[in-house]
Structure 1
């Protein structure tokens, strides 16, 4: 029975993550220098926590954006700042795109217990942001908290697999969202975490709370 379940969970993971390799976020520990002459970079801080099922705190996996009619995905799994247990996890997120307007689409997330529970969902930011040439743009400090869903509110994840999604609080949960401008504090932490980023020119364009979760 466990073998069958393991195969099923692997199939679900393939559906959600796809077979292609997703590149790391442009701000990462492997970089020794940064160049924004061809593509601009945006970054922010995000905390995701689950008050609907506190035992299943989600991990952030990928960020998807749309620029010049093309979709791009970036992995942010290795950009965790801190794990606060039942108070969630904090991450830096970042992406790169040509200067101009870019649609920040969604963050994918996962929670579970190996071979027992596997739940997947998404936090839909769905906002247009302007990136300036030669600069790194700060988008804000986002807190996305999973709470109990009521009526026709947007769910964190799909209905299936039925037990997994419900136990993890995804199919019966929605997001309560807060956005703050902590530009100075977050920039200081970014430079401490990724020293190679020092010397770049920074600006800010704070995103709004997503209309989907108002």
Structure 2
């Protein structure tokens, strides 16, 4: 729980201070090309839903990655979500994630975000803990992630911190947990990426789908942080 609060405090500080440690996703819909000699690219789609308190659908702020042992701030990467090619609805929100990354080994730690309807405003952390290896000069598709907030049972990880009590309870993040699945939707997703992001229209995109989400590992990490 201390780590949850630290993550949320960090994100708030970064977004309000203009600190450069939060990076933009790339390419954008206005990009005409990608240069894989400078960075490789990891692509995935994410659908976030709140099936527990349906009035408060999750809106992501950043996706957290750690490079190597994450010994320094430079190895703890935060990519800011944008509204490019995003689909939102009362029953869940769909996002196109584009991560420009130097070659190496990473952990996609999770997604921090919020949801709010006056007078309540809650924060959440979607735990992923997925390991990836980015090869030089590559564009790779990591798969599709469905993450849904459902009612929590005793002992299950929480979808967000307990504090502030009223906000987190009203939005369902303190009383909810995450149900996460990873699937291979390569044909549909890559077609959509190439349609919506012209820089990828002629790109060669490799398939390297993430393994199934490990709730036990996510729960153990949550309990120790």
Query: What is the TM-score when the length of structure 2 is the normalising length?
Result: 0.83
Partner in structure 2 of residue 9 of structure 1 = none
Partner in structure 2 of residue 17 of structure 1 = 12
Q: Tell me if the contact between 1:59 and 1:77 (Cα under 8 Å) persists in the aligned partners.
A: no
- Rounded to whole Å, the distance in 2 between the matches of 1:183 and 1:93 is 14
Q: Please tell me the root mean square deviation across aligned C-alpha atoms, in Å.
A: 1.8
Give the 4+ runs in structure 1 shifted more than 3 A: 13-16
Partner in structure 1 of residue 113 of structure 2 = 109
Unaligned runs of 5+ in 1: 1-12
- Tell me the alpha carbon deviations over residues 80-137 of structure 1, each in whole angstroms, 9 at most, x when there is no partner: 521121x2000011212222321111111110024x1111111111111121211111
**1:177 matches 2:162:** no
Secondary structure of the residue that 2:100 maps to in structure 1?
strand
Partner in structure 2 of residue 88 of structure 1 = 92
1:161-200 alignment to 2 at 5 Å? Answer: 161-200=164-203
Partner in structure 2 of residue 159 of structure 1 = 162
- Rounded to whole Å, the distance in 1 between the matches of 2:152 and 2:12 is 25
Instruction: Mark the CA change 1:105 to 1:79 in structure 2 (over 3 Å): closer, same or farther.
Output: farther
- Rounded to whole Å, the distance in 2 between the matches of 1:73 and 1:182 is 25
Aligned length: 200
Deviation at 1:39, TM superposition (A): 1.7
- Rounded to whole Å, the distance in 1 between the matches of 2:121 and 2:85 is 20
Secondary structure of the residue that 1:23 maps to in structure 2?
strand
Query: What is the TM-score when the length of structure 1 is the normalising length?
Result: 0.87
Partner in structure 2 of residue 32 of structure 1 = 32
